[in-house]
Structure 1
Amino acid sequence: MTIDITGLPPERIAFCPSPLAELGNALHTLAEPAHHPRLHAWATATSAALEPELADRLNEAEFMWRSTRSDFLIPAQPRETLAEELDDLDRMDDEKFVGSALEISCSTSHYPKGVPSPLVDEWSRCRALDLAAARGPRQAAFAERMLAEPTATRAWIRRLLEDCDRAFFADTWRRVRVQLASDARHKTELLRRKGLAEALAAASPGLRLEQDERGRRIVVDKLVQGRADARGSAVTLVPSVFGWPHFFALYAPGWQPVIQYPVAGHEVGGAESVETVMLRLEALTHPMRRNLSRHLARGAFSTSELADAYGITAPEVSRHLAVLKKAGLLVTQRRGRYVLHQLDISVVSRIGSDFLESVLR
């Protein structure tokens, strides 16, 4: 997806941590611990220590952070404290808040274009209730209550987030805020000294700057199509310790674009672009290339040796090898007049983790 920043001055691009955004990630980690294997110990200990009543309320509202993330959980103007960010939410009008809270679909067709708030549009209301019902009767009842009593339900949500802060997040935030602030300062300094392209590259391999005759764009490497226009507005980039492997981009109409990226870690995978991952998967769908890979995984072979082994012509082998090489799955070496090919085991062994990271991103 792309964010148009043509003509946007550098001072309108900011790197800044957000306690509310990190709380949203922490809640997602508790709801989907399998997505976050390096946080297994934290998730297990935190879940075990939750009071049953708080755990019950979290289950009631979890559709706002489980499979997707409600937009209000990723603030465009991060504050120093969670209380300040919750105060900002209190100043948001009911239509915008409820619309973002109930945007709980993984659909990529409605989100970029935006839909009217379910508080004022019957189609949006029915859609929101259907989506909530698919997640369970308690979630459906919660959505109905939010539509019927938005002010009271918003107060309930604030109390829930405040109770999470008291129960576990305040201590967690004290431990991670220094790392997040340091990351944001580093990227801000890179932006000032070396420009946006360097700052984006340092933030994540999933971010890059494109510039041509059509203008300047931030490109977010995700398996989703979307476009946002930040001209006359701003862009906020929010680092996250709890975010990996997810990579959020808020680009709904009427919202300032926000990108939430995971701070550098030591996970397997995550460095490859979505295009590269798909290219490697497609390269291995052909049965002959899979057969060739069986030989190439065991050692280095010439084109003629492979042609003889499988009873096909050398040009046919070359065409298949070219596909594997373009996908970055081969290493080649020359021995005299022969060129030998071998499967790059280290790259192939990461395909599964790279694919998982790309779809969770």
Structure 2
Amino acid sequence: MSVRIDITGLRPERVTVVPSPLAELCMALHALSEPGHHPGLQGWVTGVTARLDSHLADRMSEADFLWRTTFSDLFMPFAGVPGRTTLPGATLAEDLDLLDKLSDEQFVDAALEFTCALAYSTPGSSALTDAGTRRRALDLAAARGPRQLRFAERLLTDPPRIRAWLRGFLDDCDEAFFADAWSRLRHQLAADARHKTELLRRKGLAEALAAVSPAVTLDEEAARITVDKLADGRTTTGDGGLLLLPTSFGWPHLSVLHRHGWQPVLHYPVASQDPADPPSVEQLALRMTALSHPVRMRICRYLGRSAYTTSELAQAHGVTPPEISRHLAVLKKAGLLITRRRGRYVLHQLDVTVVARLGSDFLEGILR
């Protein structure tokens, strides 16, 4: 599973690394709504929550599905501006001005993403103009609760009203907590953008993408970027550009905007909270599967304490050496073993560091 971006004909100058205050505000709102996704932000979340005005907190819950369950593309309006080469604003106000440039259909379709009612990476009918799509969107909103249904009904009935409400709410969030955070974070994000831009200039797109995340790879021959995610999607840069957006609040999320007709965007965390490279989704699945077998779990109990040969493990578990070898091969393929030779003996030991990381790796893999 992955998201693929066709970059056929993409000119180097059309690849831009730049932070977006509005996209960062989205991640800040997400961290406040889902603090469990962001253990490293616990102090910031606690401080903001304690100071938050109760009226603003109530308004935050009215449409939190725009940033809690999805990262709505409304927070990257520059990608939807015709021409697909528009860059984010330097300030939140400039980004919000770009949000105002989206058509009502674009705004409504992006806002309804939480219902999964509309086509995303392929052309589809708008809920504003197609009665069937509208009914399906309302049905799916209702299944997600009365707040989502009320929001969807107001959105479809009076888009300008919701647009005004959202801009006012985001302005109030800026005043309440985001302006202070952005004044500290923007320098870090700008420095990362400069670094990636220099990599682009000196070493090319492949090196820059590798620095973005090990989950992002470039097949230069096929002119395709692949992002390793538990999701499927396709898009193309077409005659537009490609945006790389650094985020400080975003770890462990590596987001890809691949909405049909919009400029593709890679929204990546500036630094992992774990110095080790995250495993691929395939590698994570291999590790989880390897550890799920009861015999391999018992073998791991031994190997977690000391190093053993195949024969020793076979004797301890009352099975044949070939059977133990098959289980060891599964664990080794999953990257869970350390194997070393001592004379004519081969010793196997569990890599407890890798196993200890599985909790955070699993979280990062499913939230990426």
TM-score of the aligned structures, taking structure 1 as reference length: 0.95
The DSSP-based 3-state class of the residue aligned with 1:6 is coil
Q: Given the alignment, which residue of 249, 254, 260 partners 1:253?
A: 260
The DSSP-based 3-state class of the residue aligned with 1:233 is coil
Is the 1:243–1:262 contact (alpha carbons within 8 Å) kept by the matching residues of 2? yes
- Cα displacement string for residues 322-361 of structure 1 (whole angstroms, at most 9, x for unaligned residues): 1111111001111111111111111111111101110011
Residue in 2 aligned with 1:281? Answer: 288
Residue in 2 aligned with 1:148? Answer: 157
| Consecutive unaligned residues in structure 2, runs of 5 or more | 80-86
- Distance in 2 between the 1:65 and 1:116 partners? 24
Could you tell me how far 1:229 is from its partner in structure 2?
A: 1.2
Residue in 1 aligned with 2:18? Answer: 16
Q: Given the alignment, which residue of 323, 328, 332 partners 1:321?
A: 328
- Distance in 2 between the 1:269 and 1:40 partners? 22
User: Which stretch shows the higher mean deviation, 308-317 or 195-204?
Assistant: 308-317
The DSSP-based 3-state class of the residue aligned with 2:122 is coil
Could you tell me how far 1:45 is from its partner in structure 2?
A: 1.4
User: Which stretch shows the higher mean deviation, 226-235 or 325-334?
Assistant: 226-235
The DSSP-based 3-state class of the residue aligned with 2:259 is coil
- Distance in 1 between the 2:282 and 2:257 partners? 21
Residue in 2 aligned with 1:67? Answer: 69
Please list, as runs of the form range in 1=range in 2, the aligned pairs for 1:153-164 lying within 5 A after superposition.
Answer: 153-164=162-173
The DSSP-based 3-state class of the residue aligned with 2:8 is coil
Is the 1:302–1:340 contact (alpha carbons within 8 Å) kept by the matching residues of 2? yes
- Cα displacement string for residues 47-71 of structure 1 (whole angstroms, at most 9, x for unaligned residues): 2212221111111111111110111
User: Which stretch shows the higher mean deviation, 21-30 or 309-318?
Assistant: 309-318
Q: Given the alignment, which residue of 79, 82, 99 partners 2:89?
A: 79
Is the 2:251–2:273 contact (alpha carbons within 8 Å) kept by the matching residues of 1? no
Is the 1:68–1:106 contact (alpha carbons within 8 Å) kept by the matching residues of 2? no
TM-score of the aligned structures, taking structure 2 as reference length: 0.93
- Distance in 2 between the 1:237 and 1:346 partners? 32
- Cα displacement string for residues 29-58 of structure 1 (whole angstroms, at most 9, x for unaligned residues): 111111111111111111221222111111
- Distance in 2 between the 1:55 and 1:88 partners? 26
**CA separation of 1:291/1:38 partners in 2, compared to 1, >3 Å: closer, same or farther?**
same
* One-letter amino acid matched to 1:127: R
- Distance in 2 between the 1:125 and 1:38 partners? 40
2:195 counterpart of 1:186? yes
The DSSP-based 3-state class of the residue aligned with 1:238 is strand
Could you tell me how far 1:254 is from its partner in structure 2?
A: 1.3
- Distance in 1 between the 2:134 and 2:74 partners? 18
Residue in 1 aligned with 2:364? Answer: 357
| Consecutive unaligned residues in structure 1, runs of 5 or more | none
Is the 2:252–2:272 contact (alpha carbons within 8 Å) kept by the matching residues of 1? no
Residue in 2 aligned with 1:137? Answer: 146
- Distance in 1 between the 2:7 and 2:290 partners? 35
Could you tell me how far 1:270 is from its partner in structure 2?
A: 6.0
Residue in 2 aligned with 1:91? Answer: 101
Residue in 2 aligned with 1:47? Answer: 49
- Distance in 2 between the 1:118 and 1:185 partners? 40
The DSSP-based 3-state class of the residue aligned with 1:284 is helix
- Identity in percent: 59
Q: Given the alignment, which residue of 212, 218, 231 partners 1:209?
A: 218
* One-letter amino acid matched to 2:306: G
**CA separation of 1:49/1:270 partners in 2, compared to 1, >3 Å: closer, same or farther?**
farther
**CA separation of 1:4/1:131 partners in 2, compared to 1, >3 Å: closer, same or farther?**
same
- Distance in 2 between the 1:9 and 1:126 partners? 42
Matched residue count: 358
2:39 counterpart of 1:58? no
User: Which stretch shows the higher mean deviation, 292-301 or 241-250?
Assistant: 292-301
- Distance in 1 between the 2:276 and 2:64 partners? 28
Could you tell me how far 1:269 is from its partner in structure 2?
A: 6.7
Is the 2:19–2:193 contact (alpha carbons within 8 Å) kept by the matching residues of 1? yes
Could you tell me how far 1:139 is from its partner in structure 2?
A: 2.9
Residue in 2 aligned with 1:345? Answer: 352
User: Which stretch shows the higher mean deviation, 297-306 or 180-189?
Assistant: 297-306
RMSD, aligned α-carbons? 1.7
2:316 counterpart of 1:309? yes
